[in-house]
Amino acid sequence: MIERTLFSSEHEMWRESVRRFIEKEIVPFHDQWEEDGIVPRDVWLKAGEAGMLCCTVPEEYGGLGADYLYDVVVFEELWRSGSSGPGFLIHADLVATYIRSFGTEEQKQHWLPKMVTGEAIGSLGMTEPHAGSDLKAIRTTAVRDGDDYVINGQKVFISNGQMCDVLVLATKTDSSAGAHGVTLFLVDTSLPGFRRGQNLKKLGMKAQDTSELFFDDLRVPASAMLGEEGGGFKLMMTKLAQERLAQAIRSATVTETVLEWTVDYTSQRNAFGQTIADFQNTQFVLADLKARSVAARVFTDKCIELFLENKLDPVDAAIAKMITSELHCEAADKCLQLFGGWGYMWEYPIARAYADARIVKIAGGSIEVMKMIIAREMFKGKIGRNR
Using CB atoms within 10 Å of the CB of residue 71, give its burial: 0 to 12 exposed, 13 to 18 middle, 19+ buried.
buried
**Run of H or E residues at 148:** strand 148-159
User: What 3-state DSSP class applies to 155?
Assistant: strand
47 close to 88: Cβ distance less than 8 angstroms: yes
* Residues whose CB is less than 8 angstroms from the CB of residue 24 and which lie 6 or more positions away in sequence, other chains included: none
* CA nearest to 98, candidates 80, 124, 77, 76: 124
> Which residue pairs, CB below 8 angstroms and at least 24 apart, start in 374-381?
374/315, 374/318, 374/319, 374/322, 377/315
> Which residue pairs, CB below 8 angstroms and at least 24 apart, start in 301-307?
301/4, 301/6, 303/245, 303/248, 304/6, 304/68, 304/69, 304/72, 304/245, 304/249, 305/6, 307/68, 307/241, 307/242, 307/245
Distance CA 86, CA 185 (A): 24
Spot the catalytic one: 243, 256, 305, 309. Answer: 243
Query: Does residue 243 carry a catalytic annotation?
Result: yes
* Residues whose CB is less than 8 angstroms from the CB of residue 234 and which lie 6 or more positions away in sequence, other chains included: 179
Helix locations, 269-342, DSSP H: 280-308, 314-339
Please give the single-letter amino acid code of residue 192: P
Strands (E), 21-94: none
Just list the catalytic residues: 243
